Structure 1
């Protein structure tokens, strides 16, 4: 099953609902209340390379202006409007998007959007994946693609959202490859002749990700071992992960994220077992690595999970924070 979050304002006072929604989104944007009624219903799922959200929103604005240089986000967001209106302001680069439109926003750039009676599918996509699809991101921020060009990509996003509750992580690589092929259909084709080289790099990274998934318990999963197993030179492997801090750091983050998700499970496995299962050696080594990466020790994280169980805002906030660290 996909790791998911959910929030609904139904049955709450508007003030309480808005406070909960603002907390849920605090990791990614400053949320402002607008005139008129407020309501929100959001369901989100974690895919590798992408976060997907089905969102019904009205009476609020999302702003990323002051925080852009502080939070280090570098992914690309697609808003596929199904009904209602999404309005852009400031540095958003667009004025209005309606049903059938897809808006592209670069999280390295500031923007402000307003939602009124809006239903949309939002995809937060890793920058490298979008580069593999388009070749370059020049002039992408604020671009609005219109129907019928958006029909195939929009249909794919809606299909993923409809089936996400029954999916697991095994097919995420296939969904990423499909997204690479479909993204250009909304924009008239790839934007750069270097797109083939970027696609080859993505396929190499995907081979690495599959190897890590299969052998995450293997403590000898070094850069040299990975390069040999996936059939690339060490220089190529190091180049592929240079922007994200190197292959060793990437493997460590994948291990820690796997531990984080395991700590969310109701059965609460012991730390020594998790350390063995995810290649971290001992409970002590796991605790040290988890604290360094997450800013909290695993026992305290598990206690927070136990305390928050049944509270969608607290659970969603915690999970979303983990998702965003993984995506960027």
Structure 2
């Protein structure tokens, strides 16, 4: 297949993914007891419409839709970058201990400051973000060798840290009340608990800056994929660029984890699916990964809200149920 045909195919794939995302947003907005017509949405966007419908759309449904698609896009691109830098297809944000670090900080705050953890929606995202970064920085420090960052060692230390931090979190959860235990359990399962406008503004701003930086570094990722020696021969500072790209990936996944909770398989499966659809050129792979993650999380949110209505399933569980079978199929086929 020629380069022009590959690019044409990739553009078609991106257009289809964008159309699926728009469809998912529309269905997700109307996933509930009250259907909102296009005319009502138009009136609400112009400051009109009924107060009840306006509150439902602007304060309940739209923030959740935006949180799900932003988290999906951020986690997918983060996983794509981590896989590219480490040159390991099994790498993803959760393996680096990011989710476990965030969960530990949240659980520790609720245990040692009882009665305040569930009533401070602005502090918990900051704690989750700090826990994610702390776990990632600790794993990075342990993965350093005399020759610089070791991708294989980074994954091994991340797995070990994730296991240890998760065990400590479980021990802390045994000291919680039933309501606090249920809150932390739902948070770890990816319940999108931080889906409100203040968190959406922080998440969207942070992701926009980081995504622009990662897309700008897409050519560097293409060179790093050739291997350490080849990239060095082509004039790329492998250690410095790896640190910058890993830092951006960790920051993206930390932001998503702070707002949405723990998500599994999104950062692992979506880059694989995007790579099969568009190829390994990161200039096309990164946008495809972002759209794939956003589509997966949007439709997972739809299922989580409608499957057992009026009860809800954590979005992270639905995303894992959708992603795990595809990943097993991919492993068997390849």
Classify the TM-score, shorter chain: under 0.3
Q: Which has the higher contact order (CA 8 A, sep 6+)?
A: 2
In the superposition, the TM-score normalised over structure 2's length comes to 0.24
In the superposition, the TM-score normalised over structure 1's length comes to 0.25
Query: Normalized per residue, which structure has more helix?
Result: 2
